[in-house]
Amino acid sequence: MQKLLLKNIKQLIQVRETGLEVIKGKSMRELPLIENAWLAIEDGRIADYGGMDDFPGISDWKGLEVIDCSGRIVMPCYADSHTHIVYAGNRELEFVDRINGLSYEAIAQRGGGILNSSALLRQTSEQELLEQSRVRLKEIQSLGTGAVEIKSGYGLDLDSELKILRVINALKEESGMPVKATFLGAHALPKEYKTDKAGYIRLVTDTMLPAISAEGLADYIDVFCENGYFTAVETRLILEAGQKYGLKGKVHAEQLSHSNGIATAVACGAISVDHLEYCTTEDMALLQQSNTIPTILPGAAFFLNLPLPPARQMIEHDLPVAFASDYNPGSSPCGNMNFMMSLGCIQYKLTPEEMINACTINSAAAMDVLNEVGSITIGKRANIIITKPISSYAYIPYAFGNAPIESVWINGQKNTL
Ligand code: NIG
Ligand code: FE
């Protein structure tokens, strides 16, 4: 049996009892921690913890690996509840086009954007796609992510969507961390259906969904509810079709305009609704009456220079706000959750405590893995971060662009990259 003991931990943060739920509103300012702590891990799970003052008398040191964490902070890994890391190639030429004045929407209208990634992905073999995506998965793991949701949506035809979902499931198998797969066939209208949107929606609901379900390839269904993509009415139809196959909804909503995505997500009982740049006070009232978790994607708002979603007001409205990276080639080519923490503190004026809650417990709830990860809780997976020697946890968002991480542990095993 594997036995690991971390001792002399400067601060063991996000320590919670079992039976934990999302953290809402004012409570997001609380971050329970133990100063000068120890943490015991057995067989990849958190076995016990406490303060060094009541350090346990260990009778059997045989086979016990001991790590001295003096000066270091230990925290649960981040849960990144919204990514698109299975894609082919990159889109830095569009990045340059945007610098030179073209908008994200204008690039999409001339056939670039998501369709550009889709064209590349369709030509890429499943093996090659797996290899490219694995690099990103390992990269985010080394930056502290210990659970991830990954969407399809760059295939936009049956075979290519299946290809992406199979790659996600291969990553699920090999990574050892919780991975959730989301079917995002309704990400954009592929060019072969340019004049037949109803036909493409039928392809998603009547052909893709049954095939995906037959192979058990997805946990969630998602829709890009936006002007020029899918309307609220179409979003509802697609989410309801997914529900028939047991897939809970997630929605890309109110990113570039107010398109009633939040109202639709709430009406359909979606687990989360993400982006939210154009979220209104009425939307916040709707979210209050629901279990749908509002998720901010600060990397996309930063990269596209969008107006900032009202995260601070959402917390004032007693909502459980989550943050995720949206790692994708078009609007957030970055999966570094340490940087998302910095953006949350600097741009959205959330405190480090609020951001840590948003990126661990609330984001874990937004992908339904809170029973496994997201806090230092007895019985949960030992998916943890040991920082470099730092003065306090506020240093993590403060040192933006850095990742002051010494090591990342997944199921009690040190990530070796
Ligand atoms: O989450 N908003 C829609 N989809 C992605 C971006 C897709 C892309 O540009 O490749 C997002 O931002
Ligand atoms: Fe996204």
Residue 417 has pLDDT above 70, yes or no: no
Q: Based on the domain organization, do 180 and 67 belong to the same domain?
A: no
Kindly state if the Cβ of 326 falls inside 6 Å of ligand 1. yes
Q: Based on the domain organization, do 66 and 97 belong to the same domain?
A: no
Residue with CA at minimum distance from ligand 1 atom 9: 330
Question: Which residue segment(s) compose the domain that 16 sits in?
Answer: 3-77+374-414
User: Ligand 1 centre and the CA of 122: distance in Å?
Assistant: 17
43: domain CATH number is 2.30.40.10
Q: Based on the domain organization, do 332 and 409 belong to the same domain?
A: no
Please state the atom number of ligand 1 nearest to the C-alpha of residue 108: 9
68-102: pLDDT as tens digits: 999 999 999 999 999 999 999 999 999 999 999 99
325-374: pLDDT as tens digits: 999 999 999 999 999 999 999 999 999 999 999 999 999 999 999 999 99
* CA dihedral (386, 390, 393, 394) positive or negative: negative
182-196: pLDDT as tens digits: 999 999 999 999 999
pLDDT at 145: 98
Q: Based on the domain organization, do 87 and 40 belong to the same domain?
A: no
Residue with CA at minimum distance from ligand 1 atom 7: 330
Q: Based on the domain organization, do 319 and 386 belong to the same domain?
A: no
User: Ligand 2 centre and the CA of 104: distance in Å?
Assistant: 14
413-414 and 405-410 beta bridge pairing? antiparallel
pLDDT at 59: 65
Mean predicted confidence (pLDDT) in 25-51: 97
Q: How many domains does the chain have?
A: 2
Q: Based on the domain organization, do 264 and 131 belong to the same domain?
A: yes
Q: Based on the domain organization, do 345 and 391 belong to the same domain?
A: no
Q: What is the value of pTM for the model shown?
A: 0.97
User: Ligand 2 centre and the CA of 395: distance in Å?
Assistant: 28
Residue 56 has pLDDT above 90, yes or no: no
Q: Based on the domain organization, do 234 and 270 belong to the same domain?
A: yes
The Cα–Cα gap between 15 and 58 comes to 22
Please state the atom number of ligand 1 nearest to the C-alpha of residue 154: 10
242-282: pLDDT as tens digits: 999 999 999 999 999 999 999 999 999 999 999 999 999 99
Q: Based on the domain organization, do 278 and 130 belong to the same domain?
A: yes
Q: Based on the domain organization, do 245 and 394 belong to the same domain?
A: no
pLDDT at 63: 80
Q: pLDDT confidence of 60, banded at 50, 70, 90? A: low
Q: Based on the domain organization, do 82 and 12 belong to the same domain?
A: no
Q: pLDDT confidence of 416, banded at 50, 70, 90? A: confident
Mean predicted confidence (pLDDT) in 381-398: 98
pLDDT at 62: 73
User: Ligand 1 centre and the CA of 331: distance in Å?
Assistant: 6
- CB of 284 within 8 A of CB of 255? no
The Cα–Cα gap between 227 and 272 comes to 20
Q: pLDDT confidence of 119, banded at 50, 70, 90? A: very high
Residue with CA at minimum distance from ligand 1 atom 5: 331
User: Ligand 1 centre and the CA of 416: distance in Å?
Assistant: 31
Q: Based on the domain organization, do 105 and 195 belong to the same domain?
A: yes
**Token match 């080519």: residue?**
333
348: domain CATH number is 3.20.20.140
| Ion ligand 2 residues within 5 Å by Cβ | 326
**Token match 């943060």: residue?**
13
